[in-house]
Structure 1
Amino acid sequence: MPGSITVTRYPVTAGESEAYVLEVTLNRPDKLNAWTASMRSELVAALDAAGDDNQCRAVVLTGAGRAFCAGQDLAETAAIDPDDHAAAEEWINDFGQLFRAVRGLDKPVIAAVNGVAAGSGFQFALLADLRVGHAGVRMGQPEVLSGIPSITGIWAMRGILGRAKTTEFALTGRLVHGEEALRLGLLTRLVDEDRVKEEARAEAARLAQLPPGALALTKGRLRELDDAGLDEAIDAAKKVHAAAYATGEPQREMARFLSSRHR
């Protein structure tokens, strides 16, 4: 799906070097920026290119329209054959590649959470180093409501929320608004809705002026703290999702959800 993301460069002052902040925008506003495999592939390519470019000193992640990312496009995953275990595993591998592309960046990553961030879109926001949002955002892990087990979501949430709140989010599927998200640490900063992207870019520009070597080494150590946890979560998700899809329950629940939306 070409054009499902857009990238914009913003020149910044970084010593005597020419530098820029890269803003990556998920661009399916009519679908609340819910992603497909091809969209994630575009995103990984853009993030890898940013990581390889020394002039890129920070990255802003955001969404077009009124959402950050509503997670997986259910129209795609509802079609997975219950007997096709490889398809479920490939889907998880796809997310593993995306998550590692974000985490592998040695430069600061700021999420401008402009609207709903749900499911894997919520997890994606949590991978950012800092998250700027507004009071009206909704954030959470509603996958269980569509018959999808929350596995990588548990890993993404637990470091911020702790076990008790992670359990609540994973089992209830509830979404929280911006003020509660700030209190829980899901957001770093709360600003007016019309200033979310502006403030995220400003924070990225501030971080772009810091010594890049120190930032890279600090981020490297932060990664080391839970890299093994991500690897374990991806492996577990392959097994759990293959078992879940083999029952047909996720496909039935997603088909029911999609049907209700078209009534």
Structure 2
Amino acid sequence: MSEILCDIHDDIALVTLNRPARLNAVHRALRASLIATLARLNKDASVRAIVLTGAGERAFCAGQDLEEAADVDIARIPAWLDSQRAMYQAVRDLDKPCIAALNGVAAGAGFQVALCADWRVAATHARIGQPEVKAGLASIVGSYLMTLHVGMTHNVQMSLSGELIDARRAYDIGLVTELAERADVLAAALERAKQLARLPAHAMKLSKQRFRTLTQPGFDAACAAGIEAQTECYAHGEPQMAMRAFLNAKASMDIKA
């Protein structure tokens, strides 16, 4: 099964995170495929806009795959987080409009991918947030990306509680650009992509490059700080314990089901 699906509709590319049984959680193969797909689409002059979404009805992306994260050796944390950084950067590097269609949960790494997009269309039932602290991880890159959209009060509340908020609340505070009903979220995102695709491509490219220039130093600093912080978290053992407890509880529930 391909972790990333890509369909071209006229001049719009629909890119789908395709691990629905795992709520489209990020792991090595999905990261690599998403990075390669976005790089290819960015070079394709026939593609004028990109829509990102998740397979199934439950999630855009539930975040980092905890089975992968729980097994990360401390010595591998810099390389592992560099690969995460490259995934976010692949979205940031797009010179054409990118719309995230949040068809369900967008949490952690999935939330951060969406924050790197230009436009976020969320289904009204979607839940969105930054739950890293619940997994024993510091909220570093996600909290930086939220500073580009919301003030300190909302950022602190979401980063320190790890709680997910509903899409209407996310829209009210500025994390989501548009709301749509469950059945209409992808159609709304594709329609927005068509509208943006009709705008002059070179002006769009230069505008996006300027936004990237303005935010790149902060993004780079957050990624560097994230490596340092998560290395310390893993050294304390909190992520391993929290993730294993979650995975064991999930396995127990699966057996009972």
Instruction: Provide TM-score, normalisation by structure 2.
Output: 0.96
Equivalent in the alignment of 2:26: 35
Q: How big is the shift at 1:110?
A: 0.2
Superposed CA deviations along residues 215-251 of structure 1, whole A, max 9, x for unmatched, are 0111111111111000101111111111111222101
Is 2:117 the partner of 1:128?
yes
- In the alignment, what sits opposite 1:21? 12
Mapped pair 1:242 → 2:231 = yes
Residue 41 of structure 1 deviates from its aligned partner by 0.3
Amino acid at match of 1:148: L
Report if the CA contact (8 A) 1:58-1:108 is conserved.
yes
Structure 2: segments with no counterpart, 5+ residues: 253-257
How far off its partner does 1:164 sit? 1.6
User: Secondary structure at 1:123's aligned position in 2?
Assistant: helix
1:118 shift after superposition: 0.4
**AA partner of residue 164 (structure 1):** T
Contact 1:155 1:230 in 2 (8 A): yes
Confirm whether residue 73 of structure 1 aligns to residue 65 of structure 2. Answer: yes
Question: What is the CA–CA distance in structure 2 between the aligned matches of 1:9 and 1:76, rounded to whole Å?
Answer: 31
Does the 8 Å CA contact 1:107/1:216 hold for their aligned counterparts? Answer: yes
Q: Give the match for residue 255 of structure 2.
A: none
The SS at the match of 1:59 is: strand
Q: Is the 8 A contact 1:70 1:121 kept in 2?
A: yes
**Pair 1:217 & 2:209 matched:** no
Q: Is the 8 A contact 2:4 2:17 kept in 1?
A: yes
Query: Per-residue deviation at 1:253?
Result: 0.7
Matched AA of 1:71: G
Match of 2:190 in 1: 201
Task: Render the CA deviation track for 1:44-103: whole Å, top value 9, x for unaligned.
Answer: 00000011111110000000012000000000110123xx32x11111101111111111
> Residue 170 of structure 1: SS of its match in structure 2?
helix
Q: Structure 1 residue 167 and structure 2 residue 156: aligned? A: yes
What letter is aligned with 2:60? F
Provide runs of 4+ in structure 1 moved above 2 Å. Answer: none
**Alignment match, 1:188:** 177
Hey, what's the Cα distance between the residues in 1 that align with 2:167 and 2:223? 29
Residue number among 97, 101, 106 corresponding to 1:112 in the alignment: 101
| Map of 1:62 onto structure 2 | 53
Structure 1 residues not aligned, in runs of 5+: 12-19
1:148 CA drift (Å) = 1.2
Q: Is the 8 A contact 1:89 1:241 kept in 2?
A: no
Query: How far did 1:161 drift?
Result: 1.3
* 1:149 to partner: Cα distance: 1.1
Q: Does 1:260 align with 2:252?
A: no
**Map of 1:9 onto structure 2:** 8
Secondary structure at 1:246's aligned position in 2?
helix
Three-state SS of the structure 2 residue aligned to 1:71 is coil
The answer to whether the 8 Å contact 1:152/1:237 transfers is yes
State the distance in 1 between where 2:131 and 2:87 align. Answer: 20
Mapped to 1, the partners of 2:176 and 2:153 lie a distance apart of 18
Count of equivalent residues:
251
1:33 maps to amino acid: N
Percent of pairs with identical residues: 43
